[in-house]
Amino acid sequence: MKKLISTLMGMGLFVMLAGCVSVVTSKKANPNDVGVHYFLPQPVIQMTPKKDGTMEVEVVYWRDVNNEYTVVANSYLGKYTFDLNVDERGFLGAVSFDADSSGLAKQALDSATELRVAKINANKEQAKTEAAEAKAKEDKQVAANTSAGAAVKKAQQDLAIAQSKVNLLMDAKVSAKPPTDIDAQILAAELNVAEKEVNLTFAVGEQAQLTKSTASTANMATANSADKGATTPAKLAPQAPEPSFLLVKMTEESVSLNPAFVQADRVTWKPPTPPKQLVGLTIKVPSPVARLKSGRGPVAVVTANQPLRDVFLNSADVPAGVPLPMISLQSDNLTVNIHMADKTPRGDYQIVLDMVTDANAEAIDEINAKAKFEFGEKAEVKKPIGEFRTAKVRVE
C-alpha cells in the first residue's frame, strides 16, 4: 500500500512539473456556437471596366459562409498563451501558442473579447471620420454655390451697367450736339456689352454645372443609404456600369467563372472644374502699315495675346467698290494677317475683327459635349462667341 501511494504521488508530481495539457479545437460553426469564428475565403475576380474599354482586374477574397468555423481553447493543469488573430474579413491571420509561466490559459476568451472591442472601436472611428468628411464636403458645396451665385449677380450687374452706357450714348448721338467721336464711343460701349454678355453666359453655365453636381451627389447619397435601398437615379445624371464580380468555382479537374451579380449602371460624379481665369483678349498691331508682301498685295499684321481658334472679318471702312480685306490666321494661332485688296487706295482704315479665342471655344465645346452626352443627337449645339477687336491699318 505504501509503495502504491508513493508511486501515485510521484506520478502526480511529475505531471505537475511537466506542464500543461491543452486542447485547441476548431470545428464547423453553428449559429449559436461560442468561441472565435473565422471563415475560409471564396476567390473572386473583380473587374472594374473603364470607358476606354480597358479594365482593372484584381483577385479579391470574400468570406465563404458555407465554410465558417469556430475556435475553442481549453487548458488543464497548466499555463500557456494562445493568440489568435482574425482579420476584418473574418479570415485567420496568425495563430500562436507559447509557454507562459505567468497566468492561466484563458487567452482564447481574451482574444475574442479584444477582437470584439477592436471591432467596436474601429467602427466608431470610421463613423466619426465619415461624419467629418460629410460635413466638410457639405460646407465646401455651400461655399461653392454661394460663390457661383455671387458671380452671376455681379455679371448681371456689369451687363446692365454696360447696356445703360450704350443707351446713353445712343441718346447722345441723336442730341443736338453729339461728340465728334460718338460712333467710336458707341462701338466701344457695344463691345463692352458683348464682353459682359460672355461673362454672364460663363457665370450662369458654371452655376448650372454646380447645381447639377450637387443634385448628382444628393442622388448618389440617396442611392447609397441603406434604409432606402436602390433608388432610381436622376434621369440626366451621368452613369457608368458597376464593377463585375466573377466567382471562382473549382472542381478537382477544372475551374469556371460565374458572375456574382447582374451588372447594373450607377450614377457617377466628378468634381466641378474650377472656373478658368478669363484673360481679356487684346491685340497689338506690330505692322499697321500694309505693304506689298510676297507679291500678294498689301498685308498688315496683328497679334493676339492668347491663342485663337478662328478669326473673321466683321467690318472694314474701305471705300465702296473696293474689295474687303481677306483675313488669315497663322499656324501659331496668335498672328493674324490682314490682306488688303490691291485696289485699296492709300489711307487709314479701321478693320473690325471677330476673334474666337481657344478658351472661349473650349468652354463651348465642353458645354456641347455635356449636352450631347445628356440629350444625345437632340442636343442643341452652341457656337462659340467671338470678340470684336479693331485694328487700325494704313495702306501706303
Partner 1 sequence: MKLQRWGSLFAICAGLAGCAGLETTALPFKDAKADGLATGFRYYETSPFLLIYTDGKGGLVSKLLYLPDMTKKRSIKPYTYLSSNNSTLKFENGTLVQAKAIIDETVIPTTVISSLVKIAVATAAVANTGVKKAEQDTMPAPYLFRIVQKDDVWTLAAERDDGIRIRYMPEAAK
Site of interaction with partner 1 (CB under 8 A)? 3, 7, 10-11, 14-15, 18-28, 39-43, 45, 47, 49-55, 57, 59, 61, 67, 69, 71, 80, 91-99, 239-241, 244, 246, 248, 250-259, 263, 265, 373
The nearest distance, CB 66 to partner 1, in angstroms, is: 10
* Rounded Cα–Cα distance for residues 121 and 115 (Å): 10
The grid coordinates listed for 119 are 471591432
Q: Which is nearer to partner 1, 58 or 125 (CB)?
A: 58
The nearest distance, CB 128 to partner 1, in angstroms, is: 30
Cβ neighbours of residue 51 closer than 8 Å, sequence gap 6 or more: 240
Q: Which is nearer to partner 1, 49 or 288 (CB)?
A: 49
For residue 277, CA distances in Å to 151, 199, 332 come to: 13, 11, 22
β-pair partners for 183: none
The nearest distance, CB 111 to partner 1, in angstroms, is: 14
Place of cell 456600369: 241
The nearest distance, CB 205 to partner 1, in angstroms, is: 23
Which of 248, 266, 262, 240 is closest to 53 using CA atoms?
240
Q: Which is nearer to partner 1, 42 or 214 (CB)?
A: 42
CA of residue 327 relative to chain centroid, distance: 41
- 107 φ/ψ angles, rounded to the nearest 5 degrees: -70, -25
Radius of gyration of the chain, Cα coordinates, nearest whole angstrom: 39
Q: Which is nearer to partner 1, 269 or 388 (CB)?
A: 269
The nearest distance, CB 52 to partner 1, in angstroms, is: 6
Q: Which is nearer to partner 1, 254 or 273 (CB)?
A: 254
SS3 state at 188: helix
Q: Which is nearer to partner 1, 84 or 159 (CB)?
A: 84
The nearest distance, CB 368 to partner 1, in angstroms, is: 17
